Amino acid sequence: MTSRVQTLRSSTTGNMPAAGSRQPGELWLNFADFALGFIDASKNAQRITAVRYFQITANYAVGDFVIQAGALYVANQAVTAGAFSAPQWTKIATASDIPAGYVLPPASTTVLGGVKVDGTTITATGAGVVSATTNPVNPNRLDNGDMWVDQHNAGASVAIPAASGVWCPDRWGTYNTKAKFTVGQNYSVATKAPGFQYFLGVQTTGGGAAPAAADANYISCTLEADAVGDLMFGTANAQPIALSFWVNSSLTGNFGLGVASSGTTYRIYFFTYNIPTANTWTKIVVTIPGDTGGTTTNWPNTGNSGQTQLLFDLGSGATMAGGSTLNAWQNSSTLIFPSGGAKLVATSNAKWAITGVKLEAGSVATPYPVEDLARKLARCQRYFQRVEPTFAGWYGGAAGNNVYTAINFQVSMRASPTLTITTNNCSNLSAPVLGSLLSGTSGLYLQGSLISSPGGYVLDAYCNASAEI
Amino acid sequence: MPVRPTMNTTYSEVWDARTNAPSTTIVQRDLDGAFIPDDPANLDYRDYLAWLDAGNEPTPYTPPPAAKTE
């Protein structure tokens, strides 16, 4: 071919160059029917597909595209000049078939094998399933798993008295028999787990010592029945659960952990988790089968009573040693942990910390969910909250009469709460006492007796309401 | 509920000003002064019931010193 631009024109309709009549690379054009093409390497004429508006003066070959009345057609036969004849054309699509942003087949069209789109649903016949790729984050059944809420102690560490326990942070109870632990939010461990700003930290105090047989030293978090009833423990339909958490300790080795029912006799599944490196956060992920044993007496699946306990052993005595049967549900008359293993209580100033604790339905541990702060706090206030019943006035009646103030709880509580009253300022009133609870779980009123009357009175106090479980 | 170490405490009656008699629904824990309602779902109330079952009785309410009228 030559390198110069050629201008070709033919006014003869359908005048496609004959095979071998032109040189490769040449262009050809028939003005009359808008046919455009080039000569390929075999000297054959090739047409370039063009879409034009249908014209009654033009002839069309099989495969020609035209637009007629807003629709796209392709010729299914040779078409001679004349009026548009629908049987000669196959309709490809109209604009309304392709809405903006979507490419979907027409309704009730089988698009692939047995997969059919009917306009509202996608169905599949045969053994196939319709699936979608998702990245779920299951909700956490545990409250305050990231240890952010600490209404009880406002971030202060607490030495646990002998034969007692403390809530720190909210929803997490630490118990010891011999005053061996101090616990606190972000206490004892110097670093933080990846992605978490808060943790529950404990440290042995008063010197380490091996636990006596009856010593109980552990951390627990208990869920009420209505929070986990859908897991159907105690039935043939019990669902598996996944437990995940970050842990850090100055000790290494296998530590005891258990999941147990509440009640007078227990169903318990205990096992160990390993901390391979001291003073380093380690992610632990465990899958636990649903308990098809036991009964709904062990696992009350409705109500506000305690149902499922998560228990971390800090070094309990032989009475709570459960033997060597790990990783299986079993009956027990007491809470038990794996025999042997690491005992935090036995080492002076030993440290242990945990955060990002998540218990979820299913056999796959998904990422820790992000919750807004108000919801996180409200979840904990179902079990503990502080209210401030400040009031003042003037009373003209007889001394010895009572004045009252009503306080609504910020969140309805799990049960009628235990109330402790701390008085900041109390003038001309006897020590205030709990008068009654409003509907049990929604609020309370305090009463105080006037010391001198007529006269003014002031009460500035706060109340801790606890319905922990 | 968790197996909690037992609180070594006694309990006292609380005066109900509305009925002018000891409360039948609230008791006070002497260890920390906490007021405990009679809700079976309240763990502290369960402890109190166990304490009663052991043969104990709450301390009767003692009225405060007589008020004065100015």
A294-348: pLDDT as tens digits:
888 899 999 999 999 999 999 999 988 887 789 999 998 888 888 888 999 999 9
pLDDT of res. B3: 46
Which residue from A minimizes the CA distance to B35? Answer: A419
Higher pLDDT, A334 or A202: A202
CB contact at 8 A, A243 and A272: no
* Whole-number pLDDT of residue A91: 86
Instruction: With beta carbons under 8 A apart, name residues in chain A contacting B67.
Output: 398-400, 449-453
Confidence of residue A359 (pLDDT cuts 50, 70, 90): very high
Q: What is the distance in angstroms between the Cα of A469 and the nearest Cα belonging to chain B?
A: 6
Q: Of B5, B35, B42, which has the smallest distance from its Cβ to A163's Cβ?
A: B5
Listed in sequence order, the residues at least 6 apart from A397 whose beta carbon sits closer than 8 Å to its beta carbon are: A450, A453, A454
Give the span between the Cα atoms of A260 and A256, in whole angstroms.
Answer: 13
Quote the pLDDT of residue A394: 84
How many whole angstroms separate alpha carbon B39 and alpha carbon A251? 42
Residues from chain A that touch B29, judged by Cβ atoms under 8 A, are 418
Model confidence band, residue A98 (pLDDT cutoffs 50, 70, 90): very low
> CB-CB: which of A176, A335, A449 is closest to B3?
A335
Whether A420 sits inside 8 A of B70 (CB atoms) is no
Residues A379-424: pLDDT tens digits?
999 999 999 877 788 888 788 888 888 888 999 999 999 999 998 8
Flag whether pLDDT at B45 surpasses 90: yes
C-alpha distance from B66 to closest chain A C-alpha (Å): 7
Pairing of strands A452-453, B68-69: parallel
- For residue B14, give the nearest of A163, A433, A451 by CB distance: A433
For residue A176, list chain B residues with Cβ-Cβ distance below 8 A.
5
* Residue among A244, A143, A155, A141 nearest A197 (CA): A155
pLDDT of residue B2 exceeding 60: no
pLDDT of residue A379: 97
Helix or strand run (H / E) with residue A377: helix A373-381
Confidence tier at B64 by pLDDT (50, 70, 90): low
Report CB contact under 8 Å: B41, A416.
yes
Q: Mean pLDDT for chain A?
A: 86
pLDDT of B54 reads: 94
**H or E stretch covering A361:** strand A351-361
Q: Do A334 and B3 touch (CB under 8 A)?
A: yes
The torsion angle over the Cα atoms of residues A160, A198, A388 and A374, rounded to 10 degrees, is: -140
CB nearest A306 (choices: B1, B7, B32): B1
Q: Quick check: B28 pLDDT over 90?
A: yes
0.80 exceeded by pTM: no
- Residues ≥6 apart with Cβ < 8 Å to A292: A234, A235, A236, A238
CB contacts of A414 in chain B (<8 Å) are 41
**In the predicted model, what is the mean pLDDT of residues A181-205?**
97
Predicted ipTM of the assembly = 0.89
Chain B interface with A: residues with Cβ < 8 Å: 1-8, 14-18, 25-26, 28-29, 32-39, 41-45, 64, 66-70
B26 contacts on A by Cβ (under 8 Å): 434, 436
> How many interchain CB pairs under 8 A, A with B?
111
Mutant choice from A310, A434, A469 vs B, greatest count of B C-beta within 10 A: A434
Asked if the model's pLDDT at residue B65 lies above 60, the reply is no
Confidence of residue A101 (pLDDT cuts 50, 70, 90): very low
Which chain B residues are within 8 Å of A415, Cβ to Cβ?
39, 41-42
Determine, for residues A452 and B17 on separate chains, whether the beta-carbon distance falls below 8 Å. no
CA dihedral B41, B42, B48, B54 (to 10 degrees): 30
Mean pLDDT (whole number) for A264-268: 87
Contacts of A258 in chain B (CB under 8 A): none
Q: What is the dihedral of CA A150, A151, A154, A157, to 10 degrees?
A: -60
Report the residue of B36, B42, B44, B45 to disrupt the A interface, i.e. the one with the largest count of A CBs within 10 Å: B42
User: Where does residue A321 fall: left (phi above 0), alpha (psi -120 to 50 degrees), or beta otherwise?
Assistant: beta
Distances (CA, A) of B20 to A159, A209, B13, B65: 41, 53, 13, 16
Mutation site for A-interface testing, chosen from B26, B31, B48 by largest number of A Cβ within 10 Å: B26
Mean pLDDT for A118-128 is 61
At A18, the pLDDT band (50, 70, 90 cuts) reads confident
Distance CA B52, CA A223 (A): 27
Chain A residues lying within 8 Å of B16, measured CB to CB? 435-436
Say whether A399 and B32 touch across the interface (CB within 8 A).
no
Least confident of A109-118, A269-278, A297-306: A109-118
Section A102-107 average pLDDT:
48
